[in-house]
Amino acid sequence: MKSLLLPLSLTALLAAVSAVAQVDVPFERLRHAGDEPENWLTYGGNYSGHRFSSLTQIAPSNVATLKPIWIYQSREAGKWETTPLVINGTIYVTERPNVITALDGRTGRPIWNYRRPMPNDVAGCCGPVNRGLAVLGDSLYVATFDCHLVCINANTGKERWDTLIADYKLGMSETVAPLAVHDKIIVGISGGEFGIRGFLDAYDAKTGKQLWRFWTIPPPGEPWNETWGKGDSWQHGGASTWVTGTYDPDLNTLYWGTGNPGPDYDGDDRPGDNLYSCCVLALDPDTGRLKWHFQYTQHDVHDWDANQVPVLVDATIGGQPRKLLVQANRNSFFYVLDRATGEFITGKAFAKQTWSSGLDAHGHPILIPGNEPNADGVLVYPGLEGAVNWPSPSYSPLTGLFYVHGQEDYAQVFYKMKEDYAPGRNYDGGGTRNVLGQEPYGVVKAIDPTTAEVRWEFKEQTSSNAAILTTATDLLFTGTRDGYFYALDARTGKPLWRFQTGGQIHGGPVTFLVGGKQYVAIAAGAGLFLFGL
């Protein structure tokens, strides 16, 4: 009798101190993720992609005392790009390559590891990075670099199912954080530099069965295939879907950006607009049916993907409440669309560019001749990385401002070279070169999402792909390539706090509660840093 009593009382004691509740995050909790700021439940913080937290313990008055609490360092070298999920005080991070770790929020100690062996011949443009996870029910979902979608028991780290998305030998790879919508897991694909034909997929969250696939390049016989010319360029035209999109539950519409057409710098064999490359797609998540599309750059030849997060904002324009979709695009323009219809409302350049004289009434950029890549090279602002690449922006409903992390004063020389398609090989039809002695700078810009006006900017020495986080105390957190995790006043852009992590920062900062106290976490170098007051 005694031997049973002791373990029971021990269990009760542990529960009172620090035992972690079992994970159970149904769709309704994801839908209202903003109502539980103690957790961080989706890649973008909520379905609208706001990366905004209503927590208030860390404020401008005390942020100067923010200090590191613990640091978790990976066994594998190489930069991290993850945005953690946080559920009931446990932090879930994706490490490279194909590793998921659950960390105890109080101590930073691993609770479990999931490691999936990875073949060593996955091409992938930019290394075996991963941007994060989705949670639904008691499962976590990850897209592996070698193109599998894997479902893991969030409480134990044990694999439930593993579905093949695509053949990595064809140049495809996965870095994107999946998105859980209803009972489906939505996942995109990378490989825009390898002559893939892009798609967006939905899988059954319980079984891993594929439910629909939307091809981002229509085949012959379907509308817009003619925008690729007469040949077979549509089969290798890219239009990848490598950054997590957003979702409006009221309109039941999924919004997802598409990448550049391929070959990137040589448009000769793909005459036309090349739909649906460089677009935002509005899709019915139940069926994968396209509701509308908006193309930002027609017939792109500068690798200016439109994968930047399409952020959903409700605001008043001309006295009318509008449901907006806003995007700071890699091509240097900021776009304001009506997300119910896809109608272009307004837009303007938010960074230095030399290729377009502005947007026409339909939101199409008016081209300045002479900016197409050629064999001798042509200098264009912005360079290949664009005015902004993939880092997630933030929107604060309190300041009413949109915050984007990009680069400025940045040109490159673009070259066009003839290249034949070969499966799994680079297929970019050219390349770029930096300009001697040029030092483009990184920048955080605050933009009015109804007018596209830039309100303020904060300069960094060099650009970074760190995401932005804003909070209800008007703090803005992000990180730099040169290693600083720092805070700005979200209303003025004034720096309030900084910490040198010693590693490049390209991750997404998140904030949450552990034991009732607010913390901020950021991936830097190959590890995770947790800060508290």
Partner 1 sequence: MRFSLVRFLHAIYFPRVPLRIRLAFCAVLAVLTAPAAMAQVAAAPAGTGMAQVTVVTNLEEGHRLFEVHCAVCHGPGGEGGKGPTLAQPTLPRASDDASLIRIISDGIGGTEMPQARIDRKDVPSVAAFVRSLGSRPLEVVPGNPERGAKIYAIKGACAQCHTLRGEGAAIGPDLTTVGRRRSAAYLRRALLDPNADVPQSYSAFRSDVSLPENFLYLRVVTTNQIEIVGVRVNEDTFSIQLRDVTGRVFSFYKDELAEIDKQWGKSPMPSYLGAFTPDELDDLVAFLVSLRDTK
Nearer to partner 1, 44 or 383 (CB): 383
Which residues are CB-neighbours of 364 under 8 A, at least 6 positions away?
Answer: 295, 298
In whole angstroms, what is the distance from residue 520 CA to residue 105 CA? 11
Nearer to partner 1, 271 or 377 (CB): 377
Interface of this chain with partner 1, residues 378 to 397, rule: CB under 8 A? 383, 385
Select the residue interacting with partner 1 from 407, 471, 473, 518 (CB under 8 A).
Answer: 407
Q: Among the candidate windows 242-250, 297-305, 406-414, 469-477, which touches partner 1 by CB under 8 A?
A: 406-414
In whole angstroms, what is the distance from residue 299 CA to residue 15 CA? 59
Which residues are CB-neighbours of 437 under 8 A, at least 6 positions away?
Answer: none
User: What SS3 class is residue 14?
Assistant: helix
Nearer to partner 1, 121 or 250 (CB): 121
Q: Among the candidate windows 50-58, 83-91, 235-243, 374-382, which touches partner 1 by CB under 8 A?
A: 374-382
Interface of this chain with partner 1, residues 467 to 486, rule: CB under 8 A? 480-484, 486
Cα angle value 331/332/336 (rounded, 5°): 95
Question: In 3D, which of 321, 304, 319, 313 has the Cα closest to residue 337?
Answer: 313
210 contacts partner 1 (rule: CB under 8 A): no
Label residues 46-67 b or e (16+ Cβ within 10 Å = b).
bbbbbbbbebeebbbeebeebe
Nearer to partner 1, 378 or 398 (CB): 378
Q: Catalytic site residue 303? A: yes
Nearer to partner 1, 32 or 459 (CB): 459
CB of 386 to partner 1, least distance (A): 12
Site string for partner 1, 54-93 (x = CB under 8 A): ----------------------------------------
Question: In 3D, which of 204, 140, 218, 214 has the Cα closest to residue 177?
Answer: 140
418 contacts partner 1 (rule: CB under 8 A): yes
The residue type of 304 is W
In whole angstroms, what is the distance from residue 466 CA to residue 499 CA? 15
The residue type of 464 is S
Select the residue interacting with partner 1 from 78, 249, 271, 377 (CB under 8 A).
Answer: 377
253 contacts partner 1 (rule: CB under 8 A): no
Nearer to partner 1, 123 or 251 (CB): 123
CA 108 to chain centre: 25
Contacts to partner 1 by CB under 8 A: 375-377, 383, 385, 407, 410, 412-413, 415, 417-419, 430-440, 442, 459-463, 480-484, 486, 495, 498, 504
* Residues annotated as part of the active site: 303
